[in-house]
């Protein structure tokens, strides 16, 4: 699905007019209409404002994910961490670790975190 499709669907889901949304975002309704008809793409800031207004992620609006919920900071950090192949491999081994090793790892992590303080 296209950006325009998602923008229109989210607006209609809330029973908002193009004029209402345009005012909330700080654009004209003609510009919003062009976005919804896929004649034009919003700049990054406008895309963020639209995602915030509709409480969805920019990835959802862009059609990169079916999940409309924006990620919270922890989820975002986790996704970023597991995109690193070394961290992903390390993380995938954690569930198979025994409790004693996990306790050691927690202690080591506390030492590392407090080292800079």
Q: Residue 28's domain is classified under what CATH number?
A: 1.10.260.40
Contact 77, 34 (CB under 8 A): no
The pTM for the full model equals 0.60
Q: How many percent of the chain have pLDDT more than 70?
A: 89
Section 42-64 average pLDDT: 93
pLDDT in tens, 35-46: 999 999 999 999
Report the alpha-carbon distance of residue 32 to residue 40 in Å, rounded: 9
Q: Bigger pLDDT: 4 or 96?
A: 4
- Is 68 among the domain residues? no
Residues 48 and 91 in one domain: no
Assess contact for 34 and 46: CB atoms under 8 A: no
Mean pLDDT computed over 8-35: 96
- The C-alpha atoms of residue 65 and residue 76 are separated, in whole angstroms, by 14
In a domain, 80, yes or no: no
Q: Is residue 59 scored above 80 in pLDDT? A: yes
The answer for residues whose C-beta is within 8 angstroms of residue 34's C-beta and 6 or more apart is: 40
Regarding whether 56 and 7 lie in a shared domain, the answer is yes
Q: Domain span at residue 53? A: 3-61
Same domain assignment for residues 52 and 20: yes
The total number of structural domains that make up the chain = 2
Whether 45 and 12 map to the same domain: the answer is: yes
């Amino acid at each position: 699905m296209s950006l325009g499709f998602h923008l229109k669907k989210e607006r209609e889901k809330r029973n908002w007019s193009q004029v209402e949304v345009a005012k909330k975002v700080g654009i004209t309704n003609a510009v919003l209409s062009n976005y919804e008809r896929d004649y034009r793409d919003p700049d990054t800031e406008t895309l963020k404002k639209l995602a915030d207004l509709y409480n969805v992620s920019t990835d959802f609006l862009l059609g990169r994910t079916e999940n409309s919920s924006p990620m919270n900071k922890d989820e975002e950090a986790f996704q970023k961490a597991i995109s690193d192949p070394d961290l992903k491999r390390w993380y995938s081994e954690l569930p198979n670790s025994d409790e004693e090793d996990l306790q050691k790892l927690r202690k080591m992590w506390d030492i590392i975190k407090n080292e800079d303080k």
